[in-house]
Amino acid sequence: MRFSDAAAPADLIDLARYPLTDLDSVAGRALLAEAHRSRTGRGVAILPGFLRPEAVEAMAKDTAALVPRAYREDVAAGTPYLELPDESFPAGHPRRRVIRSATWVLAYDLIPHGSPIRALYEWEPLMAFIAAVLERDPLYRFSDPLGALNLTSMVEGDVQGWHYDSTDFVVSIAIQAPRGGGLFECAPRIRSQTEEHYDAVARVLSGEGPSEVFPFTPGTMMVFEGRHSLHRVTPVVDDVPRYVALLAYDTKPGSDSSDLLKRVRYGRTQPIAPAPTD
């Protein structure tokens, strides 16, 4: 059986290890307790082996088939705040620091409904589980028709510079790892809703601030607070592409990305109309 053809979302997950459909069980409560400890202590909840090996293989094959339709994002004009430099701030300020991001991005509207990663993202029990991990209820899928779910491919030389996300929380699922580079590095909760802590941000951007590097292992799901946690992906130094799925959620319904971000990341602001059917 091919996962992309017939499997239910639950079949993609190692439910023996991650009983997300039975969180009131002893095992389910223990899973949430560990996820809460990791999230509050390290800023990131890490779930290794979340996907079954067969699901990882199916997603890697699907991603490789879809990548030719991806948009090439390669910019060095934006700041870690996903904005253009604000020259009202002094030279060297984080609001004026330009970072480079280079990756191939497949938007949500180009991921087929039969794709296993799309089925998983649109599965209600997964969103309920993530809400429980984050201790944020209710949680909503992002309303951006391009950015709610992305598949990204990073090839040799690609990098994601230090940045914040436009969503409250980001969920990533590692699908394929390069043999070198492409590591996820995070400075968790470096800013809050009321304080930007520019001095701390400047230290991270200069390589002096505290951060942690996390292994990138296919099948692992990570949940982190991307709006308040500065993070990056180190340069890929191998000819094997780095594949990752990014699942976007927010605590508010109807959240969307700015048109500027859409143009930079997808080369457009509107979804592509589906092909007419007979």
List the structure tokens of 241. 């592409």
Weakest mean pLDDT among 35-39, 146-150, 234-238, 272-276: 272-276
Q: What's the rounded mean pLDDT across residues 131-145? A: 94
Written as one letter, the residue type at 162 is W
Print burial letters for 110-144: b (CB count within 10 Å at least 16), e (below 16).
Answer: bbeeebbbbbbbebeebbbbbbbbbebeebbbbeb
* 271 part of a folded domain: no
Residue 73: its pLDDT value, please?
Answer: 94
Name the residue among 71, 69, 75, 56 with its Cα closest to residue 244.
56
* 51 part of a folded domain: yes
3-state secondary structure of 110: helix
Give the Cα-Cα-Cα angle 22, 25, 28 (nearest 5 degrees).
Answer: 65
List the structure tokens of 197. 């802590």
pLDDT digits (tens, 9 = 90+) for 193-249: 899 999 999 999 999 988 889 889 999 999 988 888 999 999 999 899 999 999 998
Domains identified in the chain, total number = 1
* 5 part of a folded domain: no
pLDDT digits (tens, 9 = 90+) for 101-113: 999 999 999 999 9
* 108 part of a folded domain: yes
Residue 173: its pLDDT value, please?
Answer: 98
Q: How confident is the model at residue 100 (pLDDT cuts 50, 70, 90)?
A: very high
pLDDT digits (tens, 9 = 90+) for 44-83: 999 999 999 999 999 999 999 999 999 999 988 889 998 8
* 243 part of a folded domain: yes
User: Which range marks the domain in which residue 183 is found?
Assistant: 13-266
* 278 part of a folded domain: no
Residue 264: its pLDDT value, please?
Answer: 87
Q: CA–CA separation, 142 vs 250, rounded Å?
A: 6
Helical axes 26-42 vs 124-134, angle rounded to 10°: 50
* 101 part of a folded domain: yes
User: In this prediction, what percent of the chain has a pLDDT beyond 90?
Assistant: 77
* 274 part of a folded domain: no
Residue 274: its pLDDT value, please?
Answer: 62
Going by the DSSP 8-state scheme, the letter that residue 164 receives in this structure is: -
Residue 4: its pLDDT value, please?
Answer: 46
Q: CA–CA separation, 90 vs 136, rounded Å?
A: 37
Q: Give the domain CATH number at 228.
A: 2.60.120.620
Average pLDDT, the chain: 92
Query: Is the confidence at residue 5, as pLDDT, over 80?
Result: no
Q: What's the rounded mean pLDDT across residues 19-32? A: 96
Query: Is the confidence at residue 2, as pLDDT, over 50?
Result: no
Written as one letter, the residue type at 69 is R
3-state secondary structure of 153: strand
